[in-house]
A and B are shown apart, each in its own frame.
Chain A
Amino acid sequence: MSETQLIFQLSHPGRSATSQAPKALSDDKLSAIPAHLRRKQKPALPEVSEMQVVRHYTNLSSKNFAIDKQFYPLGSCTMKYNPRGANRAAMLPGFLNRHPLAPESHSQGFLSCMFELQNFLKEVTGMKGVSLAPMAGAQGEFAGVAMIRAYHEARGDDERTEILIPEAAHGTNPATAVMCGYKVREVPVGKDGDVDLEALKEACGPQTAGLMMTNPSTCGVFERQIEAISKAVHEAGGLLYYDGANLNAILGKVRPGDMGFDVIHMNLHKTFATPHGGGGPGAGPVGVSERLLPYLPTPMAGQRDDGSYHWIDSDTLDTSIGHLSAFMGNAGVLLRAYFYARSLGREGMIRVGEFSTLAANYLLKRLEAVGCTAAYPDRRASHEFILTFAKEAKELGVTAMDIAKRLLDYNQHAPTTYFPLLVPECFLIEPTETESKEALDEFVDAMAAILEEARTEPDMVKEAPFTQPVRRLDDVKAARELDLTWSE
């Protein structure tokens, strides 16, 4: 594929997409703006025709892998099918044109969807209250830990300075704890993928504000001691935070509320099939147990006795941790999640956990059969599982990264690599419930072929990919000779 020029290289002075902007105004219409506040030179934006723009960005789009094109088994990312119907519904004019500060008289349709979505999420998670305000998983984490902090502070319990985090956790967990003013204490994970319970008990104390964990964990297994963990943290006076990154595994099967969690966030761009959009937007609603209800971030949708809907805001919930954005969060993402929830309904929700788990366990067994090494061979996979290529790296010099890059040549997106950090040379693989058996089998065939190539032509595998728009990139040069903007 040829190198695509930058939009700036297509620019030609005086050219424009004339039908897209109003005509120029004479300068006297701008006389109210004082000369010293006026921009002296117009910004050097591209001067291109409408068709040039359309063609340029359409061509760029073709240089992406996407769920609509490829199998995308990224562990902990839940790359399931994003229903097109959800996009169309969220982009209905009544939703798109509604101003976030429109009065309640002109918001009943939108508010009713949000109110119902809050209730659906409460039901599937077993929590007592839900706020849709956080705009991504990491912001949901922030809201959750900020609520834990608010809870302790409201009780005058201000000696709690530490958040416990299993070492396998997502990087956002420790980063979030720090953003909320806490110190991080990591808890080791045992050989079977479960938390080292004795170490956890020792770590718990009067300084413990809470524990952040994912279940199933980032090791791709269900944490079997969850009740003992919950007891240990609660007895020390700490609260339990559930990172909902892996909620897909247990949707309809186990509820975080029933496991003893006090606060959770959900990634709707994972579990509720809203698109990842090349890196966002997401949505990270939070759910809480009874004792954290007063601290939920605002605004939330409420319902009056007469059936009408209204906003619950910080003026009526003054214990709230407050607003996390200018308005109410990623509303358009929430509408897509609402569509998904209504499509699936009760039965569909239960099937998500079942079939994502079926797909993962099937894929794991088939990959083991063609010579892949499971990190936790004695455990059931949850909706995802870990392979390790430590042996291939040592004996053949072919790393997990090499295999990941070679997969791209087989038109398969690479799984998550080198995460969690505690398993060497690993892949974290999550197939999701929406992939057909044939798609899973094709991935197995690709992996079998690459393992064979690793033995017979390791140098070739180490130079992959060969079929993509670019070969492997020089990341060192990118960081040392920073080139972050185009200059003519």
Chain B
Amino acid sequence: MPYIPHTPDDVRAMLDAIGADSIEDLFDEIPAHLKAAGKLDALPEGLSEMDVTRLMNERAAMDAGAVSFIGAGAYQHHIPAAVWEIATRGEFYTAYTPYQAEASQGTLQVIYEFQTLMTRLTAMDVSNASVYDGASGLAEAVLMSLRANRKSKSRKVLVPAALNPRYTSATQAIVENQDVALETVPFCQEKGQTLIDALKHHEGEDYAALVISQPNYFGSLEEVDALTDWAHANGMLVIAVVNPTAMALITPPGEWGEDGADIVVGEGQPLGVPLSSGGPYFGFMCCKQKYVRQMPGRIIGRTVDMEGKQGFTLTLQAREQHIRRSKATSNICTNQGLAMTAATIYTSLLGPDGLTNVAAHSHANTQVLADKLTAIDGVERAFTAPTFHEVVLTLPKPAGEVLAALAEKDVLGGVSLATDYDMDNAILVNATEVHSEQDLQLFEQALKEVLA
């Protein structure tokens, strides 16, 4: 019996202690006709660890072997071996939520360190212990902005069209049930940046917040100072959506404009979490001190024990569902503890210089790649704005067709912008520090052949 330790003698002794004749007797409160006997026939027979491992090895191998230049919200980076060797230690991997603080000081201190790291990366005051991912984190930030912006009575938030469309759709799916409306701000077709002039139409109207993505979905860097100051001048909070790797190189949201962003969220995956088909990742969420009571999710505080010794504990729990029930700031219960633990180890290993170098190489490699690809006839940069580590290229042929042909050569050449932006010939391409000169050449060569 997989993972069940009981011998026939154990079972007999346990039933005797209960005073039952059989295990089936223990289900005597369930109406007989509801029982599922014989209804699980579509399930296969159980397999040994060796056999399941062999099966999954075969499946995993089917998906391996390509060189990928896909980003669009999830990025390949080198992950030091120590990160997951430590994160998957049983003491982290198989621990529960740290409700019993005395027996969870390891996890609690890791979260406190994580909170500190995230506030330092983003130049914000406080951080929570993470939410599911960047996109759902934005939904939480939008709902939080409605609570936090006491000057606004609006249930509307301005969202740039140049925001990752997967963030927009997930946020929409989550907030629309509470009658919250997202209104779109267009981008400049030439530069690929949010159109500041378009904001003028919204002056004098009541919105809870403006979302600013840095970089935006196209990889373009936004004029964050002007956007932030405009939002604040018009009574809105600023919700920043940022890439954590980029934070080492570019102005953090806490320093945008005169007063800085109010709430910051983002996808934490680039900090030591593998691509892994989209999860588990973690969303980070930071804010100004004055909004901390409106923040959803777990928050850890440093305190002392009854002998005056330093210790860590869950705090401000009166915001959370297990205390406040229907009046909680969110229904969120779990954080992404393990991924967050990995990110804490990753960020500590890299330090300020290491993370800066990762960001710089990702930027520089993407520049080199874009230069190589735009040297091919008919391939051009779609936009003129400066970029971080992602760039939109227009091709002389439909993007879907080109990407499929590249995939046949085991080059995953980015994502198409045809569906989301009606840019039929445009692809979004990313390179990071993991891409070697040969990888970039491979892409260049493959694209030449496909377009020839």
Contacts and interface: CB of A to CB of B under 8 A. Distances in A.
B16 to A, nearest CB: 10
B243 interface: no
A316 interface: no
A95 B63 contact: yes
Contacts of A419: 322
A99 B103 CA distance: 37
Contacts of A404: 100
B312 to A, nearest CB: 8
B97 A89 contact: no
Given A25-B360, A83-B3, A297-B173, 8 more contacts: A43-B121, A66-B95, A98-B275, A126-B39, A346-B40, A349-B40, A355-B23, A358-B14
A405 B102 CA distance: 8
A275 B45 contact: no
B339 A326 contact: no
Contacts of A40: 251, 255
Interface in B408-433: 408, 412, 415, 419, 433
B117 interface: yes
Given A94-B59, A281-B280, A347-B45, A172 B331 contact: yes
B66 interface: yes
A155 interface: no
A61 B91 contact: yes
Interface string A62-85: 111111110010100101111101
A343 interface: yes
A47 interface: yes
Nearest to A134: B132
Interface string A18-56: 001111110001101110111110111111101001101
A154 interface: no
18 contacts: A4-B109, A25-B361, A32-B367, A63-B105, A64-B92, A68-B90, A110-B63, A123-B42, A141-B331, A279-B96, A322-B169, A322-B170, A326-B166, A331-B278, A351-B4, A359-B14, A362-B17, A486-B302
Contacts of A380: 26-29
Contacts of A79: 96
B95 to A, nearest CB: 4
B402 to A, nearest CB: 12
Contacts of B348: 7, 45-46, 48, 53, 56-57
B35 interface: yes
Contacts of A102: 63, 66, 68, 70, 412
A282 interface: yes
A345 B404 CA distance: 37
A317 B309 CA distance: 56
Contact of A29 (B61, B278, B360): B360
A408 B19 contact: no
A99 B412 contact: yes
B93 A277 contact: yes
B72 to A, nearest CB: 6
Interface stretch (B79-87, B182-190, B227-235, B437-445): B79-87
B117 A21 contact: no
B249 A33 contact: yes
A345 B4 contact: no
Interface residues of B, number: 198
Given A124-B40, A433-B4, A139 B92 contact: no
A325 B96 CA distance: 24
Contacts of A179: 174, 177-178, 330-331
A475 B98 contact: no
Contacts of A448: none
A307 interface: no
A17 interface: yes
Interface string A452-471: 00000000000101001111
Nearest to A48: B348
Interface in B30-70: 30-31, 34-36, 39-49, 52-53, 55-64, 66, 68, 70
Given A54-B82, A61-B86, A327-B278, A177 B326 contact: yes
Given A171-B322, A254-B35, A327 B364 contact: no
Contacts of A44: 120, 352
Contacts of A326: 73-74, 133-135, 164, 166-167, 170, 267, 278
Nearest to A29: B364
Interface in A169-202: 170-172, 174-181, 184
Interface stretch (B144-152, B203-211, B293-301, B372-380): B293-301
Contacts of B304: 473-474, 477
Interface string A307-345: 000000011000001111111111111010011011111
A305 interface: no
A64 B354 contact: no
Contact of A135 (B14, B113, B136, B249): B136
A53 B347 CA distance: 10
Given A138-B332, A180-B177, A470-B309, A61 B3 contact: no
A253 B35 CA distance: 6
Interface string B158-202: 000000101101101110011100000000000000000000000
Given A103-B407, A281-B339, A472 B306 contact: yes
Contacts of B47: 342-343, 345
Contacts of B274: 91, 96-97, 332
Contacts of B30: 222, 224, 250, 253-254
A142 interface: yes
A98 B349 contact: no
A37 B207 CA distance: 26
